[in-house]
Amino acid sequence: MYPAGHHVAAWRHPDTAADATTSLSRRIAFAQAAERAKFDLIFLADGVAAHTDDLKSLSRTDEWAVGFEPVTLLSALAVVTERIGLVATASTTFNEPFNLARKFASLDQISAGRAGWNLVTSSNPLELQNFGNISQFAHQDRYARAEEFADVVLGLWNSWEDDAFLRDKESGLFFDREKLHILGYSGRHFRVRGPLTVSRSPQGHPVVVQAGSSETGKELVARTAEVVFTAQRTLPDAQSFYADLKGRLEKYGRHPDDLKIMPGVFPVVAQREGEAREKFEKIQSLIHPDVGLELLSNLSGGVDLSAYPLDGPLPDLSETERGKSRQQLIIDLARRDNLTIRQLYETIAGARGHWQLVGTAETIADQLEERFTKGGADGFNIMPPTVPGGLDDFIELVIPELRRRGLFRTEYEGSTLRENLGLKHPAHRAPHREPAGQAAE
């Protein structure tokens, strides 16, 4: 949910609102349009620092400098929507499990079971500088902390059984203490007693989302995630990732249907191919070189590319601790298509490494259908180039074509995010079998 659109230059487009990042009314309009179209969910990415300390590029963007805190924003959107899911990003590097579990459980209650947590780890040095007591984590250490963090959060979300609350005025019992459970977690990174002070929601607990594509990240996804956002530009790559990740679930006692794989898609759609190409070229022309280069540097693992000629090749990049899988995707793209630095940032300015589709509703639906039916995706994370125009184009042109093919709902299946994603209600798993009432006495 980029407020002006997913393209890095979207805010400059004549059909977008330049103040979209700080306009609640525009966010509400976005959410309500997506809900009318019957999208599964709204997804908010997030970071806890300005995107860059390069003021040349920072001063030319809308999304990199300012924006709303995601859970606060989604809480506001929860009261003006009824069915659409609300997923926010929060890092295991810069949070504590209890606070995060409480925040997302509250959003889940406020929205009547529509919340999701996008679990990420963080390595941006600018973010680290905003948390003085945190030092740089190596890739493996970040994921070790994340694994333990997820265990604590899930344990806290199981503090209460679904039917723990009696609310019996006659007896004076508000809850059944046999159905409240103390976590009592002690690990390398965290010691958390519990219980969580928020009850379970109509969907049990928030849906856990991730976007890991490194080996370590894929193992964490297979162990804990219920939805994964990913970036594969070709069908063979998508099929390989899909089969690999689904195949990892069994060793964690999980079924392939327990995880929904949703690649990102950047669609530029019009009624005619030529018109779609013109739309794409128009927004591409708005990319400022400073912004394009900074975006490429960021997606390449934070490597400074400013010393290299824009019309020269991408230099050899050393492996980074930051965004390993996305860095490799960028390198592979540059080498495969023999792209210069300028051509490379122009290529990723919209889709940012994800799958880019430019065409009519029929041609875009053909490609989505192929990837869906041939084992490359369970669904898609739609990234409209501009808002509202690019979102409206997808809703008005592509969705009717998908519905004609029987590939997109006409009504929501249920009232919770789990029901609409086809995920089962999580059974309560008591983190500690000693009744909480006895522990407290």
Contact 149, 189 (CB under 8 A): yes
φ, ψ dihedrals at 255, nearest 5°:
-100, 150
> Known binder of ligand: residue 139?
yes
**DSSP H/E element including 78:** helix 70-78
Q: Are strands 173-175 and 260-269 parallel, antiparallel or unpaired?
A: unpaired
Residue 136 CA to residue 108 CA, distance in Å, equals: 32
Residue 119 CA to residue 434 CA, distance in Å, equals: 30
Q: Are strands 191-192 and 185-186 parallel, antiparallel or unpaired?
A: antiparallel
Residue 195: is the preceding peptide bond cis (ω within 30°)? Answer: yes
In this structure, what is the dihedral angle of CA atoms 294, 265, 62, 120, given to the nearest 10 degrees?
A: -70
Structure tokens at 381: 């994370």
Sorted by sequence, the CB contacts under 8 Å of residue 319 that are 6+ apart come out as 301, 327
> Known binder of ligand: residue 122?
no
Using left for φ > 0, alpha for ψ between -120 and 50, and beta otherwise, residue 253 falls in left
Q: Is the dihedral of CA 337, 340, 346, 351 positive or negative?
A: positive
The separation between the first and the last C-alpha atoms of the chain, rounded to the nearest angstrom, is 48
SS3 state at 63: coil
φ, ψ dihedrals at 211, nearest 5°:
-140, 25
> Known binder of ligand: residue 143?
yes
Using left for φ > 0, alpha for ψ between -120 and 50, and beta otherwise, residue 348 falls in alpha
> Known binder of ligand: residue 214?
yes
> Known binder of ligand: residue 213?
yes
Burial 386-409 (b: 16+ CB within 10 A, else e): bbbbbbebbbebbbebbeeeeebe
Residue 117 CA to residue 68 CA, distance in Å, equals: 16
435: DSSP letter? B
Residue 221 CA to residue 244 CA, distance in Å, equals: 11
Contact 44, 15 (CB under 8 A): no
- Residues placed in the known binding site: 46, 89, 139, 143, 213-214
- Residues placed in the known binding site for FMN: 46, 89, 139, 143, 213-214
